Amino acid sequence: MSSTAVLTPAELLSHWQGLRRVTRRVIEVFPEEHLHTFSVGGMRPFAALAAEMLAIAVPMAKQIAGGESTEYEGTPPATKAELLAKWDEATAELDTWYAKVAPERFGETITLFGQYTGTVWSQFFYAIDNENHHRGQGYVYLRALGIEPPPFWDRQ
Amino acid sequence: MSSTAVLTPAELLSHWQGLRRVTRRVIEVFPEEHLHTFSVGGMRPFAALAAEMLAIAVPMAKQIAGGESTEYEGTPPATKAELLAKWDEATAELDTWYAKVAPERFGETITLFGQYTGTVWSQFFYAIDNENHHRGQGYVYLRALGIEPPPFWDRQ
C-alpha cells in the first residue's frame, strides 16, 4: 500500500458490506405492519429509506464500472420478505460491479444519475454516509415502536 | 497517489470536516429548550449525542497521533452556545491532531480508549459512521419538533 493510501478499494467495500449487514438487521426486526407506514415527524417510512439505499448502491457501482446511466428508482418492495430478497440480491451485485472498478479510478471525477459530479471515492462515500444517516433514522423509528435496534458496532 | 489508494488522509479529513459542518448546523437549528431534554422512544437527547461525537473525534485523533490514552467523556455542555463553542474548538483540534498522524500509519492496528482495537482507518471510519448515525437521529428529532433540518448533501 502506498504511504498515501488510507485504505484499499477492497477494504472500503468490506467496510460498506459490514454496514449493510447492520441495515439488513434493521429491516429484519422492523415490524411488517409498520414498514411502509410508520413515520415520525412526517418523514418517509423505513421501507422508502431502504428502497433509496437500494436505488443508490448497485446503480452507482454499475454506472461507475460500466458507464451506463441508470435512472434513480426507489420504489419500495411490497413485503419485508421481498425487501430482504432485494437486499441480498444487491449485496451480491454490489460485490460484482464494485470489483469491476479499477483501483486507479477512485480519484477520477464522474457524473452519476445524470447530475451528481464528484470523485469515484466521494460517490461511494455519499452512498455509505447516506445509508448511515437513514439507518440511524430507522433506529429512532424502532425505538419509538418499542423495539431494540441491532447493535451499531456489530458488523458481522 | 498509489493505484491502491481510495483517497488520501487529507481527503478523508476534509470529507469528515464537511460532515461535521452539517452536524454543526443541526446543533444551530436545534431549539435550545429541547436540546437537553427532547427524546423519541426514550433515546438520548441531541445534546448527549453531540457530546458523544465530541468525546470521540478529538480524543481519538489525539490518541492515534500521540499514543496518549484519553478517557471517553461525553458530558454535554450546558447551553447551545457552549456546545457550538466546543464544536468549533474540536474542529481546530481535530485538524491539528489528525495532521500529526503519519500517512503510512492508517493501516496500523491500534487500541483506543483502552478497549477498541482496529486499524487507524477503521477507527476514523467508526467516528464518521457514528456521527452520521446520530446526526440522522437528530434529523428525526428536528422533524418531530416541526423544524426543517439542514440539507444532508450540503457540506460547505
B64, B110 in Cβ contact below 8 A?
yes
**Region B37-44 average pLDDT:** 98
Q: Provide the pLDDT confidence category of residue B1 given band limits of 50, 70 and 90.
A: very low
B34, B44 in Cβ contact below 8 A?
no
**CATH number, span B11-144:** 1.20.120.450
Q: Per-residue confidence of chain A (156 residues) as pLDDT tens digits?
A: 444 679 999 999 999 999 999 999 999 999 999 999 999 999 999 999 999 999 999 999 999 998 676 677 778 999 999 999 999 999 999 999 999 999 999 999 999 998 999 999 999 999 999 999 999 999 999 999 999 999 999 999
Is B34 annotated in a binding site? The answer is no
Evaluate whether the domain defined by A12-144 bears CATH number 1.10.10.10.
Answer: no
- What does the alpha-carbon distance between residue A4 and residue B5 come to, in Å, rounded to a whole number? 7
A47, A37 in Cβ contact below 8 A?
no
Q: Which of A9, A12, A20 is nearest to A92 (CA)?
A: A20
A27, A51 in Cβ contact below 8 A?
no
The structural domains of chain A, with segments of one domain joined by +, span 12-144
**Do residue B2 and residue A4 have CB atoms under 8 angstroms apart?**
yes
Min Cα–Cα distance to chain B from A153, Å: 8
- Nearest CB to A140; choose among B8, B40, B132: B40
Reported ipTM: the value is 0.96
Which run of H or of E encompasses B154? none
- What does the alpha-carbon distance between residue B142 and residue B29 come to, in Å, rounded to a whole number? 8
